[in-house]
Amino acid sequence: MKYTFNILFTFLLFFEVSCTLSSHAIDESTTLVTRDSISFPIDELTYYGSKSIFQFEEKGQEYLSFLDTEHSQKIHIYDINNQELIKTIPLQKEGPNGMTALSGCHPLDLNHFIITSWNGIFWLVNDKGEIEKSYNFWENGTNFQSFDHISFSSYNYKPAIIKDSILYFSQSLLKYPRKKNDWNKIPMFAFANLSTGNIGWTELRYPLIFEEDEDFKNAQLYDPEICYTYTGENVVISLGQYDSIMVSPDFKHKSSYNAKSRYLAHAYPHLQDGQIDLFKNIQIQGKLPHYSHLMYDKYREVFYRFALMPDDNIKPFSSNPHQSFSIIILNKDYEIIGETKFPGNNYTYQLCFVGKKGLYISENNENNPRFDENKLVFRCFTLQDKNE
């Protein structure tokens, strides 16, 4: 019976996605090709594996913000063109400007940053590390279990989205346990009005993607692993175990588009069994079709969706993945125009950013023979038509 249900679920999911797709054939003529690398020096107090790196521009200049919470609590600002450190911003752990449990940093400009935390608070901070304003989603604990953690991360790509002074961020780990039909009631994003301080949820809801009820007692739970990007008009969303991507122009309505890797089998959500060993669970998940980053390249008007190849030898919590991956390229109309596969052990795919010249992926993988812990090294990849 369960096998029959899975077939039916797969068909319905395929039907849902297919109804929103264009009818013409996919032209996969575009690939990513390697170009030069860039590197930035780091000192012994800075860890190369930042969970929050973001490219930004000011007055035509291109910069990279790099939050280090592993060995220090600082923001480093790098000039991308000159490949040099131009500014370091220390963040205090105590006192009137104290911040703890940091989960991310998003640059507004060279002098202002949004710092997020795992304890329901985020801060607007200046380039001296001073808190100019703070917002508490878990004030006095009353909103705990109502609002999810706040994290502007590049490790699982979740940038800050700011539109008309309203800040948006994803919601995913809420209200355990959940029935299979609960998902279309769960908001995908919350918001904070930076002018008034008002907070709430958007009307955009998760799709009905899950086939089983969750069981909190037996720790049968599911993390949708949401990643998203923003074009300036649309928010585009990827889930870890979902073939299609979703697009919303208004944080209310959504459409689905095929974004399946040619290298992966059909992906569908799996409960994580908390009754078995954690490492075993991670290894089980590592063998399943899986998607990671979704990034928008505003310079070339394309999207990059990362697909992780099934791996029999996952190393839990490792920041040096040895598994291979591919990057699916979609055009501005969300049509697949190419896919490029990358070898394992060379890159740290979680550490990447889009710049004026192309897509930059970190080579700070300890399995890479060129690894240097004293440098942040990124390889640039650019688009090329296979027919050229």
DSSP string, 74-107: EEEEEETTTTEEEEEEE--SSSTT---SEEEEEE
Residue 247: how many other CB atoms lie within 10 Å: 18
> What is the pTM assigned to this prediction?
0.88
Q: Round to whole Å and give the CA distance between 225 and 300.
A: 26
Specify the pLDDT at position 113: 97
Contact (Cβ atoms closer than 8 angstroms) between residue 102 and residue 67: yes
Nearest one of 293, 264, 245 to 20, comparing CA atoms: 245
Contact (Cβ atoms closer than 8 angstroms) between residue 285 and residue 236: no
Specify the pLDDT at position 2: 34
Specify the pLDDT at position 140: 62
Specify the pLDDT at position 240: 92
Please name every residue paired with 200 in a beta bridge, in sequence order, or none if there are none.
Answer: 191
Per residue in 30-48, pLDDT (tens digit) is 999 999 999 998 988 888 8
> Per-residue pLDDT for the chain (388 aa), expressed as one digit of tens each?
333 333 333 333 444 444 444 333 456 889 999 999 999 989 888 888 888 999 999 999 999 999 998 888 999 999 999 999 999 999 999 999 999 989 999 999 999 999 999 888 899 999 999 999 998 887 766 565 678 878 898 888 999 999 999 999 998 877 667 787 888 888 999 999 998 888 889 999 998 877 777 775 665 667 888 999 999 999 999 999 999 999 999 999 999 999 999 999 999 887 776 666 666 766 777 788 899 999 999 999 999 999 999 876 666 555 556 789 999 999 999 999 999 999 988 999 989 999 999 999 999 988 888 888 889 999 999 999 977 6
Q: Torsion angle, CA of 54/56/61/63, rounded to 10 degrees?
A: -20
Q: Render the burial of 134-166: b for 16+ CB within 10 Å, e for the rest.
A: ebebbeeeeeeeebbbbbbbbbbbbbbbeeeeb
Angle (CA) 164 183 23, round 5°: 75
Residue 5 φ/ψ, nearest 5 degrees: -65, -40
Q: Round to whole Å and give the CA distance between 364 and 371.
A: 6
Specify the pLDDT at position 160: 94
